Amino acid sequence: MRISTKGRYALRVMIDLAVNGHDNFVKLQDLSTRQQISEKYLEGILGTLVRNKFLEGARGKSGGYKLKCNPKKCSVWDILALTETSVAPVACLDEKENPCQRAPVCVTLPVWKELDSIIRGYLGSVTLDQLVKKSKAMKDTALDDKKWSCGL
């Protein structure tokens, strides 16, 4: 399983908006600059998140994007499920309409199903709120380290 840039960037932007976009809209340019993602690529990701009601978008001078979902209830899994074609560890778990013909005799299928369950469970248990708290703690630690390394 490999998460694409679209999924990773969507997660980064959601965290950014949870940190920086409490009640105000955050401009696309600001998100692009902070996250070092091209505006054009970011527009597509944000469009997906707006269409699925994870974000609210507004046009105009004071427009931009802000969270519509509750950071305490929005999980990493929720975001990746929207932005990734598949998060399944093997292709046969993606095939819902035409399941693999070997499934009834496949010795490894239970392994892949269990792995898929573990992945979904873990990603579903990590919320934006938890990641925001980790982000703030990392920034505080980085500032403390910088202060000490500068001899202050």
- Give me the number of domains the chain comprises: 1
Q: What is the pLDDT along the chain (152 residues), one digit of tens a residue?
A: 789 999 999 999 999 999 987 778 999 999 999 999 999 999 999 999 999 999 999 998 888 999 999 999 999 999 999 999 888 888 888 866 667 888 889 999 999 999 999 999 999 999 999 999 998 888 777 666 555 444 44
Amino acid letter at 37? I
- Classify the C-alpha dihedral 8-31-135-151 as positive or negative: positive
32 within 8 A of 42, measured Cβ to Cβ = yes
Q: What is the CATH number of the domain that holds 48?
A: 1.10.10.10
Question: What confidence score (pLDDT) does residue 12 get?
Answer: 96
The residue type of 39 is: E
- How many residues are present in the chain? 152
Contact 26, 33 (CB under 8 A): no
Cβ pair 21, 62 in contact under 8 A: no
Q: Residue 11 belongs to what domain range?
A: 5-149
